[in-house]
Amino acid sequence: MPKKQENVDDYLSKLDHPLKAETEALRAIIKGVNPKISEQIKWNAPSYSYSDKEYIATFNFHNQQQLRLVFHNPHIASIQNAILEGDYPDRRIVYFASMSDVDAKRADLVQVISELIKMMDVA
């Protein structure tokens, strides 16, 4: 994945955040769900889309104690999973505070992204 990938790699090489290793682990998990998931920088953070047309989620690095992965796709409101927080009409958030947190939420994260992709394929 040419230019977009390079932009994210460059961005992350300069990122100063205590949960940088967790960011890289989550990045690998997200991209590993489906080969049609691409990443780019949006809102000054790595963002993921499906088939280069519909956004899935974007990182938020404002808090130094945790990472926020903001799912900002209208279909996310239909998905029920304990890792999804917030009762917004068009988004949900998943919080990660450590590598053990990433590991504990890995299966649920893959399930949420997979379910979201199925919904986007049908829409």
Q: What is the DSSP string of 26-48?
A: HHHHHHHH-TTEEEEEETTEEEE
Tokens representing 122 are 């049908």
Neighbouring residues of 90: CB distance < 8 A, sequence distance ≥ 6 = 72, 73, 74, 76, 77
User: Which burial class, exposed, middle or buried, applies to 32 when counting CB atoms under 10 A from its CB (0-12, 13-18, 19+)?
Assistant: exposed
The number of domains in the chain is 1
Residue 105: CATH number of its domain: 3.90.1150.200
Mind listing the pLDDT tens digit for each residue in 5-23? 558 989 999 988 999 999 9
Range of the domain at 108: 3-122
Task: Report pTM.
Answer: 0.91
- DSSP-derived secondary structure for 57-76: EEEE---SS-EEEEE--GGG
pLDDT in tens, 34-60: 999 999 998 889 999 998 778 999 999
